[in-house]
A and B are shown apart, each in its own frame.
Chain A
Amino acid sequence: MTSSTTSTTVLGKSVQRPDALDKVTGGKHYPVNVTLPGMLHAKLLRSPYPHARITGIDASAAAKLPGVKAVLLPQDVPQRKYCPVYFVPTLAPSMVQDMLIMSDTVRYAGQPVAAVAATTAAIAEQALELIEVDYEELPAVFDADAAMAEGAPQIHEGAENNIAVNPVVAFGDAEAAFEKADHIFEGVYETQRVHTCYMEPRVCVVDSDTGGNLTVHSSMQHLFGLREKLAFVLGMPESKVRVIKPAYIGGGFGGKLDIGYIEPVAALLSLKTGRPVRIEQTRYEDFISTTRNPIRVYLKTGISKDGRFVARYAESTLDCGAHATHGAEVINVHGMFGILLTYPCPDQHWEGKTVYTNNMIGGGYRGYGSPQGAFAVESQIDEICEELGFDPVEFRLKNSYHQGDPHPFNPQAKLDSYRFQDCLTQAAERIGWSSRKAAGSDQGVKKRGIGLGCQPIWVSGCVGFPDIYEHSGAIVKLNRDGTADLSTAAVDLGSGQITTLCMIAAEELGLEADQVRMTYADTDTVPFDAPSHASRVTYSSGNAVKAAAGQARQRLLEVAGGLLEASPDDLEVCEGMVRVKGSPDSQISVVDVVTRAESPFVVMTEEGPQPTNLEEKGTIIGLSSMAPPANPSPATVEFVEVEVDTETGQVKILRVVFAHDLGKLIHPAGAEGQVEGGFQQGMGYALMENLLFDPDSGACLSSDFLDYKMPTAVEMPPKIESIFIESNEPTGPFGAKSLSEPCVTVPAPAIANAIYNAVGVRVRELPITPEKILAGLGKL
């Protein structure tokens, strides 16, 4: 690594996002707007039954409907079992390969059983009604405990008691340690199924050529993952699949981190018809495509008289629905980062179970198992402090990791830039923690309260996790007009990855932020990159972009050195000029250097043709493809003040103070946006969001945003105060580490604890609806 410095000229300024104007004027580059000549529209027929065997399908009437060009049935689809998750190799041993594009066994209501491509979406939808499917219904189970019980319907062959994975992690001897504890606390904490609510639906357009090559446009978080999964399920070589990078997508949040049914179905229909095929999911289809897994956590904690963690024991039961998908990995991240590694404790034991049911499948969602853990751990800390009379801030300070400690997940690394204590004390002061009142002591109908939630340990990528891709790459090319083009496979989900990466390249090249442009990429033209997920893009892709820009810069200095007759080591780039350090008169513009490098070797002069210098020739370009050096942990603390209406159970968020040590603040407005968006999702999780199901049929009852309530501008607090603590991470690009996911993780426990402080009601089951609060107040 080149040595990092916190003295920067581009970083730390809230530049305008290059995609801002485009988006506010309609966002024509969203994948949902891709259209190709001759394009067909396809729709999926979905099973009304949660568990059934298909004994026959008659699609002859559908095929005859004018406008219908192709029908796809289970027998037309390759039967290769796969795991849809993008960020792992398809056959990764730590994951479960239990999905088929279409199968004659249905395992959840809404599973696709047939597809139709037609000249319009309306005709395709009409054709679906003409397909007759004979189902033999099978007994179904919708509860994880019931699914594990004896005699439960077997959902997948070989999964004993319907358990997909069953990790156990232990440190020390928890059982013996509980014997020594002065106090023991127990509780069960439950979370619900929620959707990321990305605004742009899952959508794809797949085209094929006469050679059987596929070109794929899709609203997704990972180019190379889509290429790998699509090639695998279709049994094609990867090189025959080209995935186009969208300029941006309309939100992902982990919800577009796995191949859907739509891409393989569109590909097969395109191969059948020779025409491009588009599939756009409805909001209902999106709701049953990906969710945050509900987890029930039994948490037991042993505490010493002086308020230290002595022993911890937890059991987590995750309902993954009909297929394991992300549930095989979410359970591990939940166990490690949601529970075991949050605070140091020598003796701990945790067991996780990812359980099949006939519910809809789960997926990825920002935080990836951590919010479910934080709700349990941070709620219980509050209960412990209330019962034993400890101050919740002091308690956490006493029980935390410190800067310089070995990293609890990667012990060969140290928590070099870890500033949890500063986050906690600064945010506590800002919210006015010292004037917090006793629980429920406010008078009147509306009562106020303050609470906090923390994410003490998190990731900046995936280094150290088994089977998970982590590396990144970038290409940086200088143009003759003095600008630079950056191309990378890192997808901008809407959270500003383009801006951040362009700023990093500009800083390294000595250019202004708006002189670097994020340009076209596809899987044929740029190096492999892991997905935009896991709080990793700033750190991991940022390091790769910095390395590529550094290589281009080095070449720029070499060519300039030849022209200035100076050593490249003595040169610097600033304000569009390459200068000899300390001799400002000896300089040449970047434009001239780049132009010279690409100009013909022999130039015509008045004296006739003259050769120039062969060594200076060639486009000034830098390339990187590399694993990130480490996986540094940030720390996150959030305080929330709420007002609870004791007659309606309504919770109003009055104030939010968020503190996070992010190493180096690259784009302040972008960072604040991450915190605000994260709070909105975390607040929805805490108070209102819930995908509801018919208990008899397993059918999802939430089909749109009238049924599924998420926070809007009306519910959001007027301002969210972000405190960013810069701590210079030595392995990060210009000292940066991650921010994204903890923004979503901390709101639920902070809000739950604030509600307790306001009205003295402890709710251990999300969402904390007005109804649960009124019930807790004894008013129902």
Chain B
Amino acid sequence: MYPAPFHYHRADSLQGAISLLSELGDSARALAGGQTLIVWMKLRFDEPQHLVDLGRIPDLSRISQEGDEVRIGALATHAEIAGSAVADLLPIVRDCGSGIADAQVRSRGTIGGALGSADPSCDWPTLLHTLDAELTCTGPEGTRTIPVSELVEDIYTTILKPAELITEIRFRRPPANSGGSYTAFKRCAPAYPTASAGVQLTLEDGDVCSDIRIALGSAGLKTVTSEEAENILRGHALTEASIDKAAEAIVAAAEPVPDQRGSEDFKRAVLRTLVKRAVDIAVRRCHGETIRGHHEYV
């Protein structure tokens, strides 16, 4: 279908975008890469009267490392992140960025847009939970920092205030003895994953897991995490049995929605496998193995 008619505005600066969005109110939407919004408009799920294009705002797509902090501008595209020095350093970032949709979408879609859409099927939010990322957000009332785990209130709904925008994503670079892996199970390239899992873990004294974060995507109305699952593994040597138990625990916390991609039981089975495979790759990366991550298509 054709989108309903709308007015297009191009913001030249962050402050300009915020002012314009404040002025236009509820009938306006911020346009980043358009990966989600344009599709919704064409399906008439959303009929905004105004679009405020953020794409030309300078300096919002910088990807950098300062000390042990990694900073990614909200307008960085999936392709830019997957091709960055950060992705060279942290293979989990490349796993995620290079597997999102197809080349066209990766060249347009942005990490900030993926976060702002609050869609539990998006890959970045799941990944950023494993890295305990924080988000810098700026709105009419100033700038604040929001932990990624607090951004989403409910499916498609964030805690962002009117005209407030995510401007930057920050996280601490994991230590050298840490490894991560992100993997998604999807029906085809442009589709959202049927299920996805991210794991970042740190090994000490050989195989003792000193720290771990696990997150599941497309596994409920929000990104799914489980302290219980992490506690099963944290502080212990990893064994097949303990990994199974942890996978079981986080999958028990998941509430996958049955749809055209599969039943709830099937999604749980896939999530269980994805967690185990992600742990396996993360451990091998801790040990210095070079493993190319990929998404599984079925």
Contact = CB atoms under 8 A, between A and B. Distances in A.
Interface of A: 121-122, 125, 282, 647-651, 688, 692, 701-702, 705-707, 709, 712, 714-715, 769-771, 774, 779-780
B273 interface: yes
B189 A706 contact: no
Contacts of B188: 705-706, 709, 712, 714
A589 to B, nearest CB: 53
Interface in B171-201: 185, 187-192
Query: Residue among A121, A648, A706, A715 with the most chain B CB within 10 A?
Result: A648
B190 to A, nearest CB: 6
A647 B265 contact: no
Contacts of B270: 648, 770
Contact of A774 (B185, B190, B269, B297): B269
Nearest to B273: A647
B298 A648 contact: yes
A650 B187 CA distance: 11
B266 A774 contact: yes
B190 A649 contact: no
Contacts of A779: 269
A93 B185 CA distance: 51
Contact of B187 (A125, A649, A651, A709): A709
Nearest to B295: A714
Contacts of A692: 260
Contacts of A122: 2
A648 B273 contact: yes
A650 B269 contact: no
B284 to A, nearest CB: 16
Given A692-B260, A706-B191, A714-B188, A780 B269 contact: yes
A707 B298 contact: no
A771 B260 CA distance: 12
A130 to B, nearest CB: 14
A715 B186 CA distance: 12
B263 interface: yes
16 contacts: A122-B2, A282-B1, A648-B185, A648-B269, A648-B270, A648-B273, A649-B266, A688-B298, A692-B260, A709-B191, A712-B189, A769-B262, A770-B262, A771-B263, A771-B266, A780-B265
Nearest 4 pairs between A and B by C-beta? Answer: A771-B266, A647-B273, A780-B265, A709-B187
Nearest to B268: A780
Contacts of A712: 188-189
Contacts of B297: 714-715
A712 to B, nearest CB: 6
A706 B298 contact: no
A717 B200 CA distance: 33
Given A125-B2, A707-B260, A780 B266 contact: yes
Contacts of B191: 706, 709
Contact of A714 (B189, B263, B266, B276): B189
Nearest to B266: A771
A651 B296 CA distance: 11
B14 to A, nearest CB: 33
Chain A residues touching B, majority SS: loop
Nearest to A690: B260
Interface string B4-27: 000000000000000000000000
A651 B297 CA distance: 10
B197 to A, nearest CB: 12
Given A648-B296, A650-B298, A770-B270, 12 more contacts: A648-B185, A688-B187, A692-B260, A701-B260, A714-B189, A715-B297, A769-B262, A770-B298, A771-B266, A774-B269, A780-B265, A780-B269
A635 to B, nearest CB: 33
Contacts of A125: 1-2
A712 B262 CA distance: 20
A642 to B, nearest CB: 13
Nearest to A120: B2
Contacts of A706: 187-188, 190-192
A334 to B, nearest CB: 28
Nearest to B188: A709
A697 B263 CA distance: 21
A705 to B, nearest CB: 7
Nearest to A777: B269
Contacts of B2: 121-122, 125
Nearest to A284: B1
Contacts of B266: 649, 770-771, 774, 780
Contacts of A702: 260
Contacts of A647: 269, 273, 276
A769 B194 CA distance: 13
A646 to B, nearest CB: 10
Query: Residue among A282, A651, A702, A712 with the most chain B CB within 10 A?
Result: A712
A714 B270 CA distance: 20
Nearest to B267: A771
A230 B2 CA distance: 30
A121 B2 CA distance: 9
A282 B192 CA distance: 22
A709 B297 CA distance: 10
Contacts of A650: 296, 298
B262 to A, nearest CB: 5
A714 B273 CA distance: 21
A688 B270 CA distance: 17
A771 B269 CA distance: 9
Contacts of B263: 771, 780
Contacts of B1: 125, 282
Interface string B155-174: 00000000000000000000
Interface string B221-264: 00000000000000000000000000000000000000010110
A688 B297 CA distance: 11
Contacts of B276: 647
Contacts of B185: 648
Contact of A649 (B189, B192, B260, B298): B298
Contacts of B190: 705-706
B101 to A, nearest CB: 10
A650 B262 CA distance: 13
B170 to A, nearest CB: 32
Contacts of A651: 298
Interface in B262-290: 262-263, 265-266, 269-270, 273, 276
Contacts of A715: 297
A770 B274 CA distance: 14
B55 to A, nearest CB: 24
Nearest to A713: B189
A121 B276 CA distance: 50
Nearest to A651: B298
B196 to A, nearest CB: 13
A53 B260 CA distance: 31
A780 B262 CA distance: 12
A648 B276 CA distance: 12
Nearest to B262: A771
Contacts of A121: 2
A604 B269 CA distance: 91
Contacts of A649: 266, 269, 298
Nearest to A706: B191
Contacts of A282: 1
A285 to B, nearest CB: 11
Nearest to B265: A780
B237 to A, nearest CB: 23
A712 B191 CA distance: 13
A125 B3 CA distance: 11
B201 to A, nearest CB: 20
A770 B267 CA distance: 11
A692 B261 CA distance: 11
Contacts of A705: 188, 190
A123 to B, nearest CB: 10
A706 B298 CA distance: 13
Query: Residue among A651, A712, A770, A779 with the most chain B CB within 10 A?
Result: A770
Interface in B69-122: none
B178 to A, nearest CB: 26
